Amino acid sequence: MRLTGFHGKLAIVTGAAGGIGQAVTRALLDAGAVVIATDTEAALAANPVASGAIAHVLDVRDGAAADALVAWAEDLHGPLALGIHVAGIVTIGPLLDMPAEEWQRVFDINTTGTFNVTRAFGSAMARHGAGAIVAVSSNAAGIPRLNMGAYAASKAAATMLVRCLGLELAAKGVRCNIIAPGSTLTPMQTGMWASDGGAGERAVLDGNLEAYRTGIPLKKLATPDDVAGAVMFLLSDQAGHVTMADLYVDGGATLRG
């Protein structure tokens, strides 16, 4: 089956300098979309976006900037059809030891950032009466994790936010869905291995009974392209009757769909 609904359409991707964001940007470009690829100034400087995408600085904590970005993109390229929110951060550590400032930082980016971006996307799409939004959350939103309480909580809140937005926008012809990746071979993942004592890929695949963590039944990490493929399906015409879905792309690690 060939996915359709991309050629000539305006798409905005947040977190476009990261591993998953890069893969989503490439997939959209390959499908013929016009792609505005956004991230922080530092991230874009360190990891330039794919050739053919239009790079734009965006800090997702700034709601006014998100609104302005959408208005600017539509002025230049027509109505926003596809909004993909990938930007996020992870922090590692026990909740009892976590400074309040770190908790707030994680929620400012992962949860309030999701609110700012998806609200900007949804407001524009509601005016046009069509569109598709996909937010990349995490399988940690659906299962407790030791030393990942702030991240898991922020992603759980973001997931429900997008599902509620999907309910609000359904009558406007706008679909909102979530992708929940598990361990994916990105710099964010390898950085967590360093924070976790260097246990590495083998420990992720096998699981850790002492940490109440299952392994990955498929016995492999996801690639950014695996996640991008799921994003593309939910954006496509072929998913035209799918909204408020929370699709886990984790090799079976959380034992749920």
Residue 175 located in a structural domain: yes
pLDDT number for residue 71: 98
Q: Which two tokens stand for residue 194?
A: 């360093």
- Strands (E) in 137-243, as ranges, are 174-181
Alpha-carbon span 242 to 236, nearest angstrom: 10
Is pTM beyond 0.85? Reply is yes
Residue 148 located in a structural domain: yes
Domain of 80, CATH number, reads 3.40.50.720
- Domain that residue 34 falls in: 10-185+223-247
Residue 253 located in a structural domain: no
**Residues annotated catalytic, as ranges:** 151
**In the beta sheet, which residues pair with residue 195?**
none
Inter-residue long-range contacts of 155-161, CB under 8 Å, 24+ positions, other chains counted: 155/88, 155/110, 157/107, 157/110, 157/111, 158/110, 158/111, 158/114, 159/135, 159/246, 161/111, 161/114, 161/115, 161/118
pLDDT digits (tens, 9 = 90+) for 87-132: 999 999 999 999 999 999 999 999 999 999 999 999 999 999 999 9
**Nearest Cα residue to 133 out of 70, 80, 60, 82:** 82
Residue 217 located in a structural domain: no
Residue 136 located in a structural domain: yes
Please tell me the total count of domains within the chain.
1
pLDDT digits (tens, 9 = 90+) for 142-198: 999 999 999 999 999 999 999 999 999 999 999 999 999 998 766 665 555 455 544
Q: Is the dihedral of CA 78, 83, 89, 95 positive or negative?
A: positive
pLDDT number for residue 196: 53
pLDDT number for residue 186: 64
Residue 241 located in a structural domain: yes
Alpha-carbon span 107 to 242, nearest angstrom: 28
